[in-house]
Structure 1
Amino acid sequence: MHDIPKSFFATGAIFALIGMVWGIQMSATHDHTLSPAHGHLNLIGFVAMSIFGTYYALTPQAAAAAMSRVHFWLTSLTVVILAPGIALAIKGQTEMLAQLGSVLGVVSMGLFAWTVLRHGVGSAR
């Protein structure tokens, strides 16, 4: 199943582009206050999603499982909630979204660990 790896890679690339533009904006304004949010956007939005996409491309039996779609949407939701949540927490407005995003991130990584333990790595032999 090629749609799950493609979904992770395409979404990761979009998050990376957003992160790069945000980084340029921070550099241009000399205001790096929100760099922790920017860093989490890049780390989870690009790096983790690219690693997940690579895993699913290498392990088609895991990509074919329904849980792979749950994993994709959960990770995407994590990024969409966590990065702005960290920015809001830094600005002193609310920590609720950062906390929720953090929990979603842990669940997403736990789901990935479970998937790797269940399916292994690589094609079924």
Structure 2
Amino acid sequence: MRGISFWFFMTAVIYVTLGMIWGIVMAATGDHRLAAAHAHLNLVGWVTLALFGIYYHLVPRAGEHLLAKLHFAVATVGVVLLVPGIAMAVSGAGELLAKVGSVLTLASMLLFAVVVFRSRKAVEVPERAMVRQGLEQSA
């Protein structure tokens, strides 16, 4: 795994590690007030970013464009703002950070939709490739 796929996956691993540590701390202290922020760290930070990384690994051409780098930046900043923003909102310290993080996270998904749409022709179905290769060799 290289390039943008590596960075998405490595960032996701960092987020899930922090999420696991946070979960252990919540369990040890019995204080689960910030469970919503913890859940978003794991779901958005780990699952979503890891899936982005897997996609970019499977479709390397999609990661070669500037849009993929912009996608990584927006997705990462989204998580970095969303998770503490949710913690602040739950704690009564205001919702602005959670709102900004939410909008950035949505923007990240919309950017990903554009990446997927633009790279649709770069996705090669293995069975079709094998059939096409067989046809070319027999011609």
**Given the two structures, how large is their TM-score scaled by the length of structure 2?**
0.86
Identity score, percent: 46
Q: 1: CA distance between counterparts of 2:37 and 2:107?
A: 19
Does the CA-based 8 Å contact 1:5-1:63 persist in structure 2? yes
TM-aligned CA deviation for residue 49 of structure 1: 0.5
**Given the two structures, how large is their TM-score scaled by the length of structure 1?**
0.95
Larger RCO, structure (CA 8 Å, separation 6 or more) = 1
1:106 aligned residue? 106
Does the CA-based 8 Å contact 1:75-1:105 persist in structure 2? yes
Residue 23 in structure 1 maps to residue 23 in structure 2: yes
Aligned residues: 125
Does the CA-based 8 Å contact 1:58-1:123 persist in structure 2? no
Give the unaligned 5+ runs of structure 1: none
TM-aligned CA deviation for residue 8 of structure 1: 0.5
1:97 aligned residue? 97
Does the CA-based 8 Å contact 1:60-1:122 persist in structure 2? no
TM-aligned CA deviation for residue 123 of structure 1: 5.0
Runs of 4+ with deviation above 6 angstroms: none
- For 1:29-80, what per-residue CA distance to the aligned partner results, in whole angstroms no more than 9, with x for missing partners? 1111100000101111100000000000011111101111111111110110
Does the CA-based 8 Å contact 1:60-1:123 persist in structure 2? no
- For 1:71-105, what per-residue CA distance to the aligned partner results, in whole angstroms no more than 9, with x for missing partners? 11111101100000000000001100000001001
Residue 122 in structure 1 maps to residue 139 in structure 2: no
Q: How does 1:11-50 map to 2 (within 5 A)?
A: 11-50=11-50
- Greater mean alpha carbon deviation, residues 113-122 or residues 69-78: 113-122
Q: Over aligned residues, Cα RMSD in angstroms? A: 1.6
